[in-house]
Chain A
């Protein structure tokens, strides 16, 4: 995440979103450890594209109505092992978090996503959502996802889900019956899969990656 420097060496915080502020953060090839602090009424929105890096992202929600929306796409082809660790800390009551992580694996690509949501016992009325989906383009690709909910407060809403699978055969067949060859059809379906969270200007990077991993 070269866009961010450590702004507070003492607390180890890399990015602080000040009370009432809203920030949008986009980065490609995110790597390393990052801590983001979100103050009262502030919002942190991020989109990260990863291509075989290791990143650990911690978001501390420090004041009422602090929220974060973390969207990550990871790509992992032969020889790569993409590791994403997230740690969302609902330090204050009435804080909100969303995480959507989508992965595409090809060849012998590997990936791991471990996401922790922590809600301590006095952080009531918090909401935390985590969703992970991965598409395996080859039988030799491998991905693990371990969600961890550390929830001590009783009046909270939390949800997590993970789905891992191959591309839908029926959809592939439909595209092919319209004359679209396998590689193109796969590319279209992957773009369709990622388009929900992918900024339009980064779609080209996906195409390039798919071309390199056919």
Chain B
């Protein structure tokens, strides 16, 4: 069954049209990768799926689990199971990571009509995942994303994903800024989450990530829409020849 179905989506900022007739269907339990030159609209796509009000949808439809995603607020989308690991996570001074995660989980439980986790279970749920990703207690006491290194921010994004257990995860260049060891750790963090009902959309510039997290499908996006879809060999071909043939 299709988890996410995007049809003929067009989106713009001001007068600038960024997504142009973009279509993509992601089945439950699959991993898709999108590669494409800088400025082709990959982060815009992620933001539009997550509901960033900075982008105006001018045409098209997006169904998530059969529901109209575009009618939902960003928090509703999140609680329905959409998660975006940002390319550039924003800093929020004065709000500690632990408080933030507690509030996020409480919001989800409330949305789903479930009882909130008590403090003990919250800490347990967090600790297990934090340890696996090398996120320390000290980091969790600090304000959200403030002063963290690029690599630390990506680990924390991955931690949030594991913690909130979404059904659909978009990872926007989560491999950029990670050293070799961190890349392995974060990839493992993604791989253990792979299961029958959960799907992923990996946005990346590098074949290396796709060796660590093997996608089922690879798309190439140029100028606001997908120009080619294929299997793993597509990334290898791209590594050799670049985007010259697509522009």
What is the CB-to-nearest-CB distance from B236 to chain A, in angstroms, rounded to a whole number? 33
B51 CB within 8 Å of chain A: yes
B26-58 to A contact mask, C-beta < 8 Å, 1/0? 000000000000000000000000111110000
Q: Residues of B within 8 Å of A, CB-based: how many? A: 32
CB pair A179–B78 under 8 Å, yes or no, is: yes
With CB as the reference atom, state the residue of chain B lying closest to A170: B90
Interface of A is mostly: helix
B103-129 to A contact mask, C-beta < 8 Å, 1/0? 110011001000000000000000000
B73 CB within 8 Å of chain A: yes
CB pair B84–A177 under 8 Å, yes or no, is: yes
A192 CB within 8 Å of chain B: yes
B182 CB within 8 Å of chain A: no
CB pair B95–A177 under 8 Å, yes or no, is: no
CB pair B94–A179 under 8 Å, yes or no, is: no
With CB as the reference atom, state the residue of chain B lying closest to A181: B75
Once the chains are docked, how many angstroms separate the CA of A168 from the CA of B104? 19
Given A179-B111, A181-B107, A189 and B100 touching (CB < 8 A)?
no
CB pair A174–B90 under 8 Å, yes or no, is: yes
B81-97 to A contact mask, C-beta < 8 Å, 1/0? 01110100110111100
What is the CB-to-nearest-CB distance from B177 to chain A, in angstroms, rounded to a whole number? 18
Once the chains are docked, how many angstroms separate the CA of A174 from the CA of B52? 9
B99 CB within 8 Å of chain A: yes
Query: Which residues from chain B contact A177 at a C-beta distance below 8 Å?
Result: 50-51, 74-75, 77-78, 82-84
CB pair B103–A189 under 8 Å, yes or no, is: no
CB pair A196–B94 under 8 Å, yes or no, is: yes
A interface list, Cβ under 8 A from B = 168-171, 173-182, 184-185, 188-189, 191-196
B interface list, Cβ under 8 A from A = 50-54, 73-75, 77-79, 82-84, 86, 89-90, 92-95, 99-100, 103-104, 107-108, 111, 143-144, 160, 164
